[in-house]
């Protein structure tokens, strides 16, 4: 079976609707590598989205994918074996590995004729609402973005860790009463300051705080978690399955992202391990096209919080797939992960929630 497999990739640049500024970086584009895995006329689509701070590039992703021996796919349904051997090719390259994983899952779902949420026995209506991300901006810009988005989204996620944290929260509150989730991206460095900020945020309709302090500040984070009135969620501290156990006792929950954990299979395993450790789960994303977002959406019914707005932040999304419906990102009825290039999308295929 392996002789006729084809693996193709092409570079693409996602253009963002707004400048995306975090505590430590700022950008207007995200490089991605679009992947096609084909056998017997069936094409599985994958994506490797790579914000520069992750250390991968379109070139390194393409180089990694070129190293995959497609003879591994003599039985593509043996995903544990296939993806385990792909993972062992080289350390790192998480987004490139995710692209292959997503494309393989898409191909398998198409062979089975079902979307993955059905294969997993999940109900997409059980998916939590997604947050809509607002980067670090001047308060007036934050106010404008929040006002424009408040009618569509049932939760906002605001990036903090800059000089005007409280002013940005105040700007959202001037525009809308929408619940807020906060992501500090390791931007606070003093635990007493972090606790004061979180205590104030708890009075502003904030639901949770992601990665308030640096990953290495384990003792301070555990101290903060014991005193925080809001859940503390690991982001940068938890990348892959092996990291989940270390989050127990330090965080209340973990944020799982396909581009960091190497794809759908490991994300599912991370969710299960987090549950076993009594950790809550967020399913997050980078700025990605609807290809990767549609893959993540298949798992959304398993988690407590969703942050799957990556494609909604993109002005030139090359895929048609999961859609925003009543504040949730829900998959369409197509088999696999459901995303297809816009050039071949069938407009008759609608969201499963409609």
CATH of the domain at 190: 3.20.20.120
| Residue 349 within any structural domain of the chain | no
Q: Is residue 337 part of a domain?
A: yes
Domain of 203?
Answer: 119-341
Q: Which of 89, 114, 139 represents a domain boundary (last residue)?
A: 114
Residues 142 and 277 in one domain: yes
Does 53 fall in a domain? yes
Domain-located, residue 157? yes
Confidence (pTM): 0.94
Inter-CA distances, 144 with 96, 158, 172, 304, Å? 36, 13, 9, 28
Q: At what angle do helices 94-112 and 264-276 cross, to 10 degrees?
A: 100
82 & 128 share domain: no
pLDDT at 344: 81
Cβ neighbourhood burial of 54 (10 Å; 0-12, 13-18, 19+):
middle
346 C-beta neighbours (distance < 10 Å), count: 10
Residue 22: its pLDDT value, please?
66
Q: Which of 49, 82, 114 is at the close of a domain?
A: 114
Is residue 280 domain-resident?
yes
pLDDT at site 354: 30
The pLDDT score that the predictor gives to residue 26 is 77
User: Do the domain assignments include residue 346?
Assistant: no
Give the number of domains in the chain. 2
- Bridging pattern class, strands 232-234 and 206-210: parallel
Distance (Å, whole) CA 248 – CA 28: 35
Residue 110 sits in the same domain as residue 124: no
The reply to whether 140 falls in a domain is yes
Q: Are residues 70 and 204 in the same domain?
A: no
Q: Based on the fold, state whether residues 143 and 9 are members of the same structural domain.
A: no
Residues 212 and 336 in one domain: yes
- 104 and 123 in a single domain? The answer is no
Among 65, 99, 114, residue at a domain's last position: 114
Residue 183 belongs to a domain: yes
Each residue's pLDDT tens digit in the chain (354 positions)?
Answer: 556 999 999 999 999 988 877 666 678 999 999 999 999 999 999 999 998 888 899 999 999 999 999 999 999 999 999 999 999 999 999 999 999 999 999 999 999 999 999 999 999 999 999 999 998 899 999 999 999 999 899 999 999 998 899 999 999 999 999 999 999 999 999 999 999 999 999 999 999 999 999 999 999 999 999 999 999 999 999 999 999 999 999 999 999 999 999 999 999 999 999 999 999 999 999 999 999 999 999 999 999 999 999 999 999 999 999 999 999 999 999 999 999 999 887 655 554 433
């Amino acid at each position: 079976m392996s002789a006729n497999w084809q693996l193709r990739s092409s570079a693409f640049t996602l253009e963002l609707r707004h400048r995306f500024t975090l505590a430590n970086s700022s950008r207007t584009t995200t490089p991605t590598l679009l992947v096609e895995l084909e056998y017997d006329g069936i094409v599985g689509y994958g994506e490797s989205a790579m914000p520069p701070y992750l250390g991968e590039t379109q070139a390194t992703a393409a180089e990694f994918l070129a190293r995959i021996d497609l003879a591994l796919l003599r039985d593509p349904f043996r995903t544990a074996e296939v993806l385990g051997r792909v993972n062992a090719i080289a350390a790192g390259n998480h987004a490139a590995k995710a692209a292959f994983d997503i494309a393989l899952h898409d191909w398998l779902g198409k062979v089975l004729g079902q979307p993955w949420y059905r294969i997993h026995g999940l109900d997409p209506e059980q998916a939590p609402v997604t947050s809509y991300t607002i980067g670090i901006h001047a308060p007036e810009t934050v106010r404008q973005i929040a006002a424009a988005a408040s009618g569509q989204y049932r939760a906002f996620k605001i990036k903090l860790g800059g000089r005007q944290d409280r002013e940005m929260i105040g700007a959202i509150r001037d525009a809308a009463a929408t619940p807020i989730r906060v992501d500090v991206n390791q931007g606070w460095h003093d635990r007493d300051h972090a606790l004061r900020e979180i205590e104030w945020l708890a009075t502003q309709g904030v639901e949770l705080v992601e990665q308030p302090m640096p990953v290495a500040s384990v003792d301070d984070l555990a101290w903060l978690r014991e005193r925080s009135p809001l859940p503390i969620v690991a982001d940068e501290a938890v990348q892959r399955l092996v990291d989940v156990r270390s989050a127990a006792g330090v965080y209340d929950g973990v944020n799982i992202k396909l581009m960091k954990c190497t794809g759908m299979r490991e994300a599912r395993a991370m969710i299960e391990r987090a549950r076993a450790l009594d950790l809550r789960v967020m399913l997050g994303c980078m700025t990605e096209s609807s290809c990767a977002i549609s893959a993540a959406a298949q798992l959304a019914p398993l988690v407590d919080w969703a942050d799957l707005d990556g494609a909604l932040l993109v002005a030139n999304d090359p895929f048609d797939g999961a859609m925003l419906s009543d504040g949730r990102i829900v998959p369409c009825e197509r088999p696999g992960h459901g995303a297809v290039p816009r050039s071949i999308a069938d407009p008759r295929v609608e969201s499963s929630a409609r």
